[in-house]
Every structure is written in structure tokens, then in C-alpha cells.
Amino acid sequence: MKADKISELTTNRLSIYLRCLNELAHEGRKTVSSDRLAKRFHLNSAQIRKDLACFGEFGVRGVGYYIEDLREQIIRILGLDHHHRVGIVGAGRLGAALTDYYGFRQTNFEVAALFDADPEKIGSVVSDVKVFDVKDFSKVRKNEGIDVAVIAVPAEYAQKVLEMIVDAGVKAVMNFAPTPLLADDDVKLKTIDLTISLESLSYFLARPGKNGRE
């Protein structure tokens, strides 16, 4: 198949498949069929095959997929074999929580620096990570080789912070401020909007009877 325009839905599912494979590998299994994988983790087998087919033919008919091999393929596809250095803008509670977040380490991301505008925070250290003046972002970015930025500041500052981050040359940004941001097409911006998720829960609670799986 080798489609050249891969949907984000597909790459998101690759993450999930990888996790499932990790679990199976941990149990000592060697091979798995798309059907087994689907049944076990409540996925759709055709979708698994199709998602994988975008990147090559990894399976063996009659056998299934070699777990260890497929794991390595997905790791390569997702670029998880490359190390990334993260700069978190906003050293409040959220920034601190993210600095500690185990998922960063797990996925080959490393928090290299925190940034804040508050003079009381600048210079301090959170979980072994130094807090820099946000004004020095561009300089620190170069010194530390930061290639991923996280926005963990109040909504009203988010757009300005994003522009600063992009001006400094960072191409991948994760935004936790509950506001949609605008960036150029060559910048990958991923917004995690807790407010939307909360209001979605609220909607459900206001309407007992309707169900909801995410």
C-alpha cells in the first residue's frame, strides 16, 4: 500500500499497538495475529492490518506478526529511536508535574529545561531541571539542543509564548493552555485541552442514559 499521506489517527493507533506489543512481549509471546491483538485489546483487526500496511508488509500470512520485529518497526516509524530534548515553558504545578512525567523518559524524550517569567522561580531547580528566564529561551534552546517545546502557561499568554518558541526555531509544540493556537504549517502543534474534556464529561452527566466511550 505505502500510502504517503498518513492520517494522525493512524499514527495515534500505532502508539497503541506498540503498547500492546510491549505487553505481549513481556509475557514472552513470539508472534501474534491481528485478530488476536484486536480481540485482546478491543481493536479492529482490519484496521490494524491497514494501519501497518501504510508502512510496509510486516506480517507473514498464515503466521501473523513477529512481535519483537513489529515492535522495532513501529519504534522506527514513530521515530522513538531518536532522542529528543524538551523545554517546558511555565514552571507552575503543571510544568513541574510534566517535568516528572514518566512518559517523557519512556518515549525517549528528556526534559532539558524549564522556563518562567517569575523572578522567584528563575534559577531554581525542579526535579533536577533548571528553571531559566523565559527571555533566554532562544539562547538556552541552542545550548541545550531543545527540539520540542511544551506550553504550560495561562491561556492569555499562550499565543505569545508559541510565537516566541517558533521564532526560536522549534518545530514541535505541545500546548496545555485551554485555547486554540495559530502556527505556521511547518510547525507541529498538538493541543491538550482539559477544559474541553471536562465539559464533555459535564455534557454526559447532564444527560443520563446516553453512554460514552472515548
Partner DNA sequence: CGGAACTTGTTACCTTTTTCACATAATCGG
Partner DNA sequence: CCGATTATGTGAAAAAGGTAACAAGTTCCG
Contact positions with a copy of itself (CB under 8 A) in 175-214: 178-180, 182-183, 185-208, 210-214
Task: Using alpha carbons only, give the angle 84, 89, 91 rounded to the nearest 5 degrees.
Answer: 115
Q: Please state, in angstroms and rounded to a whole number, the distance separating the CA atoms of residues 179 and 133.
A: 24
Strand partners, 32: 65
Name the residue nearer to a copy of itself (CB basis): 56 or 180. Answer: 180
| 114-143 binders of DNA (CB under 7 A) | none
H or E stretch covering 120: none
What is the number of other CB atoms lying within 10 angstroms of the CB of residue 107?
A: 15
* Nearer residue to a copy of itself within complex by CB, 62 or 120: 120
Report the site for a copy of itself in 117-176 (rule: CB under 8 A). 147-148, 154, 171-172, 174
Site string for DNA, 49-88 (x = CB under 7 A): xx-xx---xxxxxxxxx-----------------------
Cross-strand pairs, 84 = 109
CA atoms 135, 168, 12, 102: torsion sign: negative
Q: Which of the listed partners (a copy of itself, DNA, none) does 3 bind, with a CB threshold of 5 to 8 Å by partner kind?
A: none
* Residues at the site binding DNA, with contacts judged by CB under 7 A: 1, 7-10, 32-36, 44-47, 49-50, 52-53, 57-65
